Structure 1
Amino acid sequence: MNDDADPGTVNSLHYLLRKARAADSSAGYVIPQPLSLTPPLLSDLDFETTAKAYDVDAAAIFAVSEVESGGRTGFDSKGRPKVLFEARWFHHFTAGRYDHSHPHLSQTTWAGARRFYGKGQWRRLFEAFSIDPKSAVKSASWGKFQIMGFNHSGFKNVFDFCDAMFLSEKEHLKSFLAYCQDHHLIPLLRDRKWALFPKGYNGTAYKQNHYDLKLETAYQHYKKRSLPL
């Protein structure tokens, strides 16, 4: 900023920026840089402690994390939370304005959106962010439990959610459990209703991917593990 700028003008500018931020949380928002190449991961004790707090079998939470993350961590090799940018949701949140100009970012159907699952997810997210920040962050699923940005359960807004996703897998777990509470899924997780929980968590298409069978298999695998008390 020009050092010779009038103080009154500077104060007015700061006021307008604060007002804009209050009216639209996307004003001035920047996606964070990773704090580390190896952000803190969840331990068995983290799962066990959290599970006791919710009266849920730790292996049930393990099972969801296993299926959603493919058995890997919630972060990529650059320390960023893993994301899957959903072109179908970006189409929804932007009212189809970019269907023709940016088809790799905005698609009218899930079949069309899936064609781009193999593309660079962060590259697509950043490109969408340059067009419409809020819609872009809302249109990706995030972290170890792949919570959609538009849910941002446990956080005031999608940008606070995005910030937290860079911190640790504990934040991923926090959002997952908040989502389950918001959508009344804790009892289904507690009773291991593997045919009902994925319907509430992923929608009716879960059957196509045998999500319920994968959850049961992962659950049985983790039940065999010796978890600390």
Structure 2
Amino acid sequence: MTSTLRLGDKGHAVRDLQAGLKRAGASLYVDGDFGEKTEAAVMAFQLRAGLVVDGLAGTKTFQALAGSDCSALLKEADLVRAADRLGADLAAVKAVNEVESRGEGFFAPGKPAILFERHIMRRRLLLDEGEEDLKGRVASLEQAHPGLINKRPGGYAGGLAEYPRLARAKMIDTPCAIESASWGLFQIMGFHWKNLGYDSAPDFEAAMQASEANHLDAFVRFIEADPALHKALKAHKWTAFARIYNGPAYARNLYDVKLQRAYARHAEHLQAAA
């Protein structure tokens, strides 16, 4: 994974970025200093490539510079549509995308980023009203598969290695397994599928497998389903937004501060572009 380069950075990685931008047609001096001209060149390239225009040079920008297929990646037009749908200004949606997303929605083509949660799997199995002697069955499964069904969080493999865990969990119960993972750019838990308007857990999974635009759509649905979250976004109440979306740890992790700073930067860029 490429480290994200931004305004103020210096070094060999910035030189590589500048060289790639020059090959793509930018008029730049390759000096290893990510200044305002380099930021402007990044944004101009992102606009031409159809990527999110944020001036941040991460993996997606480098992939596009290398000529990779970026068709499944999030695009500027996707954020514009999301802002219109939510009745929020584009800078606010861009700030949320920057701070609250993973940055990359896929581990590999067709493999959306996931994290399987064994404690959620246990909870979902215990909700199966059609099973007799449900607690006994779940207890037996928990004893046999502690890495997949457990009272405590943990057991993570990370990255693509989460997929074998998901596959084994599907052998126990496919819908519960899908519901027990977080999915895509915005780490939306699968158990939200019904509340977000999907036909089934597999339908939600299929949507997540298709594109980052679908990841954003799920996130938009998530915001629409929570009036307080939606209101906070439209009013730029970043402390309220972070408290609702990130939970009690929002302040310790400075999510509200990060959102405010990102919003100010994107608002400035959009105003300059206008």
Same fold (TM over 0.5): yes
Find the aligned partners of 1:94 and 1:192 in 2 and give their Cα distance.
Answer: 38
Partner of 2:186: 145
- Following the alignment from structure 2 to structure 1, what is the Cα–Cα distance between the partners of residues 211 and 243? 27
C-alpha displacement at 1:141, in angstroms? 1.0
Q: Percent sequence identity over matched residues?
A: 36
Equivalent residue for 1:17? none
The structural deviation recorded for 1:68 is 3.4
Give yes or no for the alignment of 1:183 onto 2:226: yes
**Larger mean Cα displacement after TM superposition, 72-81 or 172-181:** 72-81
Deviates more, 1:96-105 or 1:185-194: 96-105
Comparing both chains, which one has the higher relative contact order based on Cα–Cα distances under 8 Å and sequence gaps of 6 or more? 1
Q: Which residue of 1 aligns with 2:90?
A: 58
The answer to whether residue 243 in structure 2 is matched with residue 203 in structure 1 is no
Aligned residues of 1:143 and 1:169 also touching (Cα < 8 A): yes
Relative to its length, the structure with more helix (as a share) is 2
User: In structure 1, what is the equivalent of residue 73 of structure 2?
Assistant: 41
Structure 1 unaligned runs (5+)? 1-36
Larger Rg: 2
TM-score, length-scaled by structure 1: 0.71
* Cα distance, 1:63–1:122 mapped onto 2, change above 3 Å: farther
What's the CA shift for 1:117? Answer: 5.9
Say which is worse superposed, 210-219 or 87-96, in terms of deviation: 210-219
For the pair 1:116 / 2:147, whether they are aligned, the reply is: no
- Shift in Å, 1:56: 0.6
The reply on whether 1:80 has 2:123 as its aligned counterpart is: no
Structure 2 portions without partners, runs of 5+: 1-68, 127-137
Q: Structure 1's 57 and 129: CA in aligned 2 closer, same or farther, altered over 3 A?
A: same
Contact 2:82 2:217 in 1 (8 A): no
Root mean square deviation, CA, Å: 2.5
Contact kept? 2:114, 2:182, Cα under 8 Å: yes
Distance 1:138 1:108, change over 3 A: same
Q: Which residue of 2 aligns with 1:105?
A: 148
